[in-house]
Protein backbone atom coordinates (compact mmCIF):
# COMPACT_ATOMS: atom_id res chain seq x y z
CA UNK A 1 0.00 0.00 0.00
CA UNK A 2 2.82 2.37 0.82
CA UNK A 3 4.26 1.96 -2.70
CA UNK A 4 0.96 3.13 -4.19
CA UNK A 5 1.24 6.45 -2.34
CA UNK A 6 4.73 7.30 -3.56
CA UNK A 7 4.72 10.47 -5.66
CA UNK A 8 6.26 10.67 -9.13
CA UNK A 9 8.35 13.62 -10.26
CA UNK A 10 7.51 15.73 -13.31
CA UNK A 11 8.77 14.40 -16.61
CA UNK A 12 9.63 10.96 -17.92
CA UNK A 13 9.20 8.00 -15.60
CA UNK A 14 12.55 6.56 -14.44
CA UNK A 15 13.80 3.33 -16.06
CA UNK A 16 13.06 1.13 -13.04
CA UNK A 17 9.42 2.30 -12.92
CA UNK A 18 9.01 1.80 -16.67
CA UNK A 19 10.50 -1.69 -16.46
CA UNK A 20 8.33 -2.72 -13.51
CA UNK A 21 4.97 -1.27 -14.48
CA UNK A 22 4.84 -0.64 -18.25
CA UNK A 23 7.24 -2.47 -20.51
CA UNK A 24 5.77 -5.91 -19.93
CA UNK A 25 2.19 -4.71 -20.34
CA UNK A 26 1.98 -4.97 -24.12
CA UNK A 27 -1.18 -6.97 -24.69
CA UNK A 28 -1.29 -9.88 -27.09
CA UNK A 29 2.12 -11.13 -28.29
CA UNK A 30 2.98 -10.87 -31.99
CA UNK A 31 5.79 -12.41 -34.00
CA UNK A 32 5.59 -9.32 -36.25
CA UNK A 33 6.73 -6.99 -33.47
CA UNK A 34 10.45 -6.74 -34.19
CA UNK A 35 11.42 -3.87 -31.85
CA UNK A 36 9.21 -3.88 -28.71
CA UNK A 37 8.96 -1.10 -26.12
CA UNK A 38 12.23 -0.62 -24.23
CA UNK A 39 13.95 2.07 -22.18
CA UNK A 40 15.85 4.51 -24.38
CA UNK A 41 14.31 3.52 -27.71
CA UNK A 42 12.64 6.17 -29.87
CA UNK A 43 10.23 3.92 -31.78
CA UNK A 44 8.76 0.47 -32.29
CA UNK A 45 9.14 -1.64 -35.43
CA UNK A 46 6.65 -4.05 -37.01
CA UNK A 47 7.81 -6.43 -39.75
CA UNK A 48 5.46 -7.06 -42.68
CA UNK A 49 6.98 -9.09 -45.49
CA UNK A 50 10.16 -7.42 -46.72
CA UNK A 51 9.28 -4.04 -45.20
CA UNK A 52 9.26 -2.57 -41.71
CA UNK A 53 6.73 -0.18 -40.22
CA UNK A 54 8.47 2.29 -37.87
CA UNK A 55 6.11 3.95 -35.35
CA UNK A 56 6.64 6.58 -32.66
CA UNK A 57 4.37 8.74 -30.45
CA UNK A 58 5.30 11.88 -28.52
CA UNK A 59 3.44 14.55 -26.53
CA UNK A 60 4.04 18.28 -26.35
CA UNK A 61 3.24 19.30 -22.78
CA UNK A 62 5.61 22.05 -21.65
CA UNK A 63 5.15 24.81 -24.24
CA UNK A 64 2.50 27.41 -25.05
CA UNK A 65 3.74 28.85 -28.34
CA UNK A 66 3.96 26.99 -31.69
CA UNK A 67 2.47 23.83 -30.19
CA UNK A 68 1.54 22.47 -33.64
CA UNK A 69 5.06 23.03 -34.97
CA UNK A 70 6.62 21.19 -32.02
CA UNK A 71 4.07 18.37 -32.12
CA UNK A 72 4.80 17.42 -35.73
CA UNK A 73 8.56 17.70 -35.35
CA UNK A 74 9.03 15.70 -32.14
CA UNK A 75 7.48 12.44 -33.35
CA UNK A 76 8.87 12.94 -36.87
CA UNK A 77 12.32 13.26 -35.31
CA UNK A 78 11.94 10.02 -33.35
CA UNK A 79 11.04 8.07 -36.49
CA UNK A 80 13.91 9.71 -38.38
CA UNK A 81 16.41 8.31 -35.85
CA UNK A 82 15.74 4.97 -37.54
CA UNK A 83 17.36 6.46 -40.65
CA UNK A 84 14.04 6.78 -42.49
CA UNK A 85 11.75 9.68 -43.37
CA UNK A 86 8.36 9.71 -41.65
CA UNK A 87 5.50 9.57 -44.13
CA UNK A 88 2.26 9.60 -42.16
CA UNK A 89 1.01 11.01 -38.85
CA UNK A 90 -1.96 10.91 -36.48
CA UNK A 91 -2.66 13.56 -33.84
CA UNK A 92 -4.57 14.00 -30.59
CA UNK A 93 -5.26 17.63 -29.63
CA UNK A 94 -6.49 18.27 -26.07
CA UNK A 95 -7.67 21.82 -25.47
CA UNK A 96 -8.24 23.64 -22.14
CA UNK A 97 -11.75 24.80 -21.31
CA UNK A 98 -10.98 28.45 -22.10
CA UNK A 99 -9.75 27.65 -25.63
CA UNK A 100 -11.53 29.27 -28.55
CA UNK A 101 -11.79 28.61 -32.26
CA UNK A 102 -8.69 30.73 -32.78
CA UNK A 103 -6.64 28.22 -30.79
CA UNK A 104 -7.96 25.33 -32.88
CA UNK A 105 -7.21 27.17 -36.12
CA UNK A 106 -3.69 28.15 -35.02
CA UNK A 107 -2.66 24.64 -33.96
CA UNK A 108 -4.13 22.96 -37.05
CA UNK A 109 -2.45 25.46 -39.41
CA UNK A 110 0.90 25.00 -37.68
CA UNK A 111 0.61 21.23 -37.98
CA UNK A 112 -0.47 21.41 -41.63
CA UNK A 113 2.39 23.70 -42.65
CA UNK A 114 5.04 21.76 -40.72
CA UNK A 115 3.87 18.37 -42.00
CA UNK A 116 3.74 19.69 -45.57
CA UNK A 117 7.31 20.95 -45.28
CA UNK A 118 8.49 17.52 -44.08
CA UNK A 119 6.49 15.56 -46.66
CA UNK A 120 4.20 14.03 -44.02
CA UNK A 121 0.51 13.26 -44.57
CA UNK A 122 -1.76 13.68 -41.53
CA UNK A 123 -4.25 10.80 -41.76
CA UNK A 124 -6.53 11.51 -38.77
CA UNK A 125 -6.76 11.77 -35.01
CA UNK A 126 -8.96 13.25 -32.31
CA UNK A 127 -9.56 16.77 -30.95
CA UNK A 128 -11.50 17.72 -27.82
CA UNK A 129 -11.89 20.26 -25.01
CA UNK A 130 -10.61 18.57 -21.85
CA UNK A 131 -11.30 19.68 -18.25
CA UNK A 132 -8.41 20.44 -15.94
CA UNK A 133 -5.83 21.55 -18.50
CA UNK A 134 -3.85 24.76 -18.19
CA UNK A 135 -2.59 24.69 -21.79
CA UNK A 136 -3.16 22.71 -25.00
CA UNK A 137 -1.55 19.26 -25.10
CA UNK A 138 -0.86 17.69 -28.48
CA UNK A 139 0.18 14.07 -29.00
CA UNK A 140 1.36 12.86 -32.40
CA UNK A 141 2.17 9.43 -33.81
CA UNK A 142 4.47 9.26 -36.84
CA UNK A 143 4.88 6.33 -39.24
CA UNK A 144 7.48 5.32 -41.82
CA UNK A 145 7.92 2.34 -44.16
CA UNK A 146 11.52 1.12 -44.25
CA UNK A 147 13.79 -1.54 -45.73
CA UNK A 148 16.51 -1.10 -43.05
CA UNK A 149 16.97 0.83 -39.82
CA UNK A 150 19.06 1.40 -36.70
CA UNK A 151 17.89 1.91 -33.12
CA UNK A 152 19.32 3.63 -30.05
CA UNK A 153 20.23 0.16 -28.70
CA UNK A 154 22.75 -0.61 -31.46
CA UNK A 155 25.78 1.38 -30.23
CA UNK A 156 28.98 -0.59 -29.60
CA UNK A 157 32.01 -0.17 -27.38
CA UNK A 158 34.49 2.23 -28.99
CA UNK A 159 31.93 4.03 -31.14
CA UNK A 160 32.41 7.78 -31.35
CA UNK A 161 29.61 9.85 -29.84
CA UNK A 162 28.70 12.67 -32.21
CA UNK A 163 25.94 15.27 -32.00
CA UNK A 164 24.49 17.74 -34.45
CA UNK A 165 23.93 21.47 -33.99
CA UNK A 166 24.36 22.34 -30.29
CA UNK A 167 22.98 21.57 -26.83
CA UNK A 168 19.49 22.58 -25.63
CA UNK A 169 18.08 23.65 -29.00
CA UNK A 170 14.42 23.25 -28.02
CA UNK A 171 14.96 24.54 -24.49
CA UNK A 172 16.60 27.69 -25.85
CA UNK A 173 13.59 28.36 -28.08
CA UNK A 174 11.13 27.78 -25.22
CA UNK A 175 12.99 29.99 -22.74
CA UNK A 176 13.55 32.71 -25.32
CA UNK A 177 9.84 32.74 -26.18
CA UNK A 178 8.77 33.09 -22.54
CA UNK A 179 11.21 35.46 -20.79
CA UNK A 180 9.34 35.45 -17.45
CA UNK A 181 11.93 34.81 -14.77
CA UNK A 182 14.84 36.11 -16.88
CA UNK A 183 14.89 39.27 -14.77
CA UNK A 184 15.27 42.95 -15.50
CA UNK A 185 17.81 44.39 -17.92
CA UNK A 186 17.91 41.42 -20.28
CA UNK A 187 19.34 41.63 -23.79
CA UNK A 188 16.28 41.80 -26.05
CA UNK A 189 18.18 40.96 -29.24
CA UNK A 190 19.75 37.91 -27.60
CA UNK A 191 16.34 36.73 -26.40
CA UNK A 192 14.83 37.26 -29.85
CA UNK A 193 17.54 35.11 -31.42
CA UNK A 194 16.99 32.45 -28.76
CA UNK A 195 13.26 32.35 -29.53
CA UNK A 196 14.06 31.61 -33.19
CA UNK A 197 15.83 28.35 -32.29
CA UNK A 198 12.51 26.60 -32.92
CA UNK A 199 13.48 26.75 -36.60
CA UNK A 200 16.25 24.22 -35.86
CA UNK A 201 13.92 21.65 -34.34
CA UNK A 202 13.89 19.11 -37.18
CA UNK A 203 16.60 16.44 -37.40
CA UNK A 204 14.98 14.54 -40.27
CA UNK A 205 17.35 15.60 -43.08
CA UNK A 206 20.53 15.13 -41.06
CA UNK A 207 19.44 11.75 -39.65
CA UNK A 208 18.60 10.36 -43.10
CA UNK A 209 21.84 11.73 -44.56
CA UNK A 210 23.99 10.33 -41.74
CA UNK A 211 22.32 6.91 -41.98
CA UNK A 212 22.98 6.85 -45.69
CA UNK A 213 26.76 6.82 -45.11
CA UNK A 214 26.65 3.32 -43.60
CA UNK A 215 28.88 4.50 -40.73
CA UNK A 216 26.15 5.12 -38.17
CA UNK A 217 25.29 2.28 -35.77
CA UNK A 218 22.70 4.09 -33.61
CA UNK A 219 20.85 7.40 -33.34
CA UNK A 220 18.75 9.14 -30.69
CA UNK A 221 16.93 12.47 -30.55
CA UNK A 222 17.94 14.64 -27.58
CA UNK A 223 14.49 15.33 -26.17
CA UNK A 224 13.62 15.42 -22.46
CA UNK A 225 16.73 15.40 -20.28
CA UNK A 226 18.73 17.10 -23.02
CA UNK A 227 22.05 15.90 -24.39
CA UNK A 228 23.02 14.16 -21.18
CA UNK A 229 19.66 12.42 -20.92
CA UNK A 230 19.87 11.18 -24.51
CA UNK A 231 23.40 9.83 -24.08
CA UNK A 232 22.33 8.10 -20.86
CA UNK A 233 19.33 6.50 -22.62
CA UNK A 234 21.40 5.34 -25.58
CA UNK A 235 24.07 3.84 -23.30
CA UNK A 236 21.38 2.17 -21.17
CA UNK A 237 19.66 0.69 -24.22
CA UNK A 238 23.01 -0.51 -25.61
CA UNK A 239 24.26 -1.81 -22.22
CA UNK A 240 27.29 0.45 -22.37
CA UNK A 241 29.01 3.23 -20.47
CA UNK A 242 30.37 6.45 -21.91
CA UNK A 243 33.01 9.13 -21.55
CA UNK A 244 31.60 12.51 -22.48
CA UNK A 245 33.70 15.69 -22.56
CA UNK A 246 31.80 18.85 -21.63
CA UNK A 247 34.15 21.26 -23.40
CA UNK A 248 33.59 19.40 -26.69
CA UNK A 249 29.81 19.93 -26.62
CA UNK A 250 28.78 23.02 -28.62
CA UNK A 251 26.63 25.45 -26.62
CA UNK A 252 25.34 28.43 -28.58
CA UNK A 253 25.80 31.87 -27.03
CA UNK A 254 22.01 32.33 -26.98
CA UNK A 255 21.71 29.08 -25.00
CA UNK A 256 24.43 30.11 -22.58
CA UNK A 257 22.67 33.44 -22.06
CA UNK A 258 19.19 32.11 -21.23
CA UNK A 259 20.59 29.26 -19.11
CA UNK A 260 22.79 31.58 -17.07
CA UNK A 261 19.89 33.99 -16.49
CA UNK A 262 17.57 31.16 -15.41
CA UNK A 263 20.12 29.04 -13.54
CA UNK A 264 19.78 26.05 -15.89
CA UNK A 265 22.29 23.41 -17.04
CA UNK A 266 22.28 23.39 -20.88
CA UNK A 267 23.35 19.73 -20.95
CA UNK A 268 20.17 18.75 -19.08
CA UNK A 269 17.76 21.04 -20.92
CA UNK A 270 15.36 19.61 -23.54
CA UNK A 271 17.07 19.56 -26.91
CA UNK A 272 14.84 18.32 -29.74
CA UNK A 273 16.74 19.37 -32.84
CA UNK A 274 19.99 17.87 -31.58
CA UNK A 275 20.71 14.42 -33.03
CA UNK A 276 22.93 12.01 -31.14
CA UNK A 277 24.88 9.43 -33.18
CA UNK A 278 27.04 6.40 -32.45
CA UNK A 279 29.55 6.33 -35.31
CA UNK A 280 31.95 3.56 -36.27
CA UNK A 281 35.61 4.47 -35.70
CA UNK A 282 36.95 5.86 -38.95
CA UNK A 283 33.54 6.97 -40.22
CA UNK A 284 33.47 10.34 -38.47
CA UNK A 285 34.56 12.45 -41.45
CA UNK A 286 32.14 10.71 -43.80
CA UNK A 287 29.26 11.44 -41.41
CA UNK A 288 30.44 15.03 -40.99
CA UNK A 289 30.39 15.62 -44.76
CA UNK A 290 26.91 14.13 -45.10
CA UNK A 291 25.48 16.23 -42.25
CA UNK A 292 27.17 19.42 -43.50
CA UNK A 293 25.53 18.86 -46.89
CA UNK A 294 22.11 19.27 -45.20
CA UNK A 295 23.13 22.68 -43.81
CA UNK A 296 23.77 21.39 -40.29
CA UNK A 297 26.96 20.50 -38.41
CA UNK A 298 28.12 17.59 -36.27
CA UNK A 299 30.74 17.36 -33.50
CA UNK A 300 32.54 14.45 -31.83
CA UNK A 301 31.95 14.76 -28.07
CA UNK A 302 32.98 11.43 -26.54
CA UNK A 303 33.03 7.66 -26.82
CA UNK A 304 30.96 4.68 -25.72
CA UNK A 305 32.77 2.36 -23.34
CA UNK A 306 32.25 -0.77 -21.24
CA UNK A 307 32.89 1.24 -18.08
CA UNK A 308 30.88 3.77 -16.08
CA UNK A 309 28.83 6.66 -17.46
CA UNK A 310 31.18 9.59 -16.97
CA UNK A 311 30.97 13.30 -17.79
CA UNK A 312 34.30 15.16 -17.79
CA UNK A 313 33.33 18.65 -16.68
CA UNK A 314 35.17 21.87 -17.42
CA UNK A 315 38.12 22.24 -15.06
CA UNK A 316 38.83 18.52 -14.92
CA UNK A 317 36.07 17.46 -12.50
CA UNK A 318 34.66 14.01 -13.20
CA UNK A 319 30.92 13.50 -12.75
CA UNK A 320 29.40 10.02 -12.70
CA UNK A 321 25.97 9.94 -14.35
CA UNK A 322 24.26 7.29 -12.23
CA UNK A 323 20.69 7.92 -13.41
CA UNK A 324 18.86 9.79 -16.18
CA UNK A 325 18.66 13.51 -15.41
CA UNK A 326 15.40 15.33 -14.77
CA UNK A 327 14.93 17.92 -17.49
CA UNK A 328 15.76 21.47 -16.42
CA UNK A 329 12.59 22.73 -18.10
CA UNK A 330 10.48 21.17 -15.34
CA UNK A 331 12.08 23.57 -12.86
CA UNK A 332 10.43 26.41 -14.78
CA UNK A 333 7.13 24.61 -15.33
CA UNK A 334 6.85 23.79 -11.64
CA UNK A 335 7.95 27.24 -10.49
CA UNK A 336 5.78 29.41 -12.70
CA UNK A 337 3.51 27.22 -14.83
CA UNK A 338 5.13 27.87 -18.19
Indicate if the alpha-carbon torsion angle 253, 161, 12, 103 is positive or negative. positive
Residue at which a domain ends, from 106, 124, 146: 146
| Judgement on whether residues 121 and 174 belong to the same structural domain of the protein | no
Residues 180-185 have a mean pLDDT of 70
**Residues in the chain, overall count:** 338
- Domain harbouring 275, CATH code: 3.90.650.10
- Domain harbouring 126, CATH code: 3.30.1330.10
User: How does pLDDT run across 66-117, given as a tens digit for each residue?
Assistant: 899 999 999 999 999 999 999 999 999 999 999 999 999 999 999 999 999 9
| Judgement on whether residues 96 and 172 belong to the same structural domain of the protein | no
Cα–Cα nearest to 60, from 114, 6, 101:
114
Is residue 155 in some structural domain? no
User: How does pLDDT run across 10-40, given as a tens digit for each residue?
Assistant: 778 888 898 899 988 999 999 999 999 988 8
- Domain tally for the chain? 2
| Judgement on whether residues 264 and 128 belong to the same structural domain of the protein | no
Percentages (nearest 5) of helix, strand, coil residues in the chain: 35, 25, 40
| Judgement on whether residues 165 and 111 belong to the same structural domain of the protein | no
| Judgement on whether residues 124 and 94 belong to the same structural domain of the protein | yes
| Judgement on whether residues 73 and 221 belong to the same structural domain of the protein | no
Residue 254 Cα distances to 107, 124, 171, 189, 197, angstroms? 27, 37, 11, 10, 9
Surface-to-core class of residue 121, CB atoms within 10 Å of its CB (0-12 exposed, 13-18 middle, 19+ buried): exposed
* H helix intervals, the chain: 15-21, 67-80, 101-118, 169-177, 188-195, 204-211, 226-238, 253-262, 284-292, 329-336
Is residue 234 in some structural domain? yes
| Judgement on whether residues 89 and 172 belong to the same structural domain of the protein | no
| Judgement on whether residues 267 and 215 belong to the same structural domain of the protein | yes
User: How does pLDDT run across 142-166, given as a tens digit for each residue?
Assistant: 999 999 999 999 999 999 999 999 9
The whole domain housing 68 covers: 42-146
SS3 letters across 215-238: CEEEEEECCCCHHHHHHHHHHHHH
Residue at which a domain ends, from 121, 146, 171: 146
Residue at which a domain ends, from 146, 181, 199: 146
| Judgement on whether residues 292 and 205 belong to the same structural domain of the protein | yes
**Residue 201 φ then ψ, to 5°:** -70, -30
**Residue 256 φ then ψ, to 5°:** -60, -40
Distance CA 175, CA 259 (A): 8
H or E, element range at 162: strand 160-164
Residue 184 has a CB neighbour count (10 Å cut-off) of 4
- pLDDT at res. 6: 62
Amino acid sequence: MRENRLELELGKLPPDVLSKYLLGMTGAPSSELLVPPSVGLDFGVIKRGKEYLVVSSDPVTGVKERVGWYAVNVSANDVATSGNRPRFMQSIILLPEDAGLGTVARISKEMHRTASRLGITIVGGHTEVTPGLGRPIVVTTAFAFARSFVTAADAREGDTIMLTKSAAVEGTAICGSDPSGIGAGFDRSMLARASRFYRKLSIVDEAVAAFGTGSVRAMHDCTEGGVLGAIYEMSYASNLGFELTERSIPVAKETSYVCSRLGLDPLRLISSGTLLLAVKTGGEEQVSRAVRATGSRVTAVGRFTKGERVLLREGGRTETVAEPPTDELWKLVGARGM
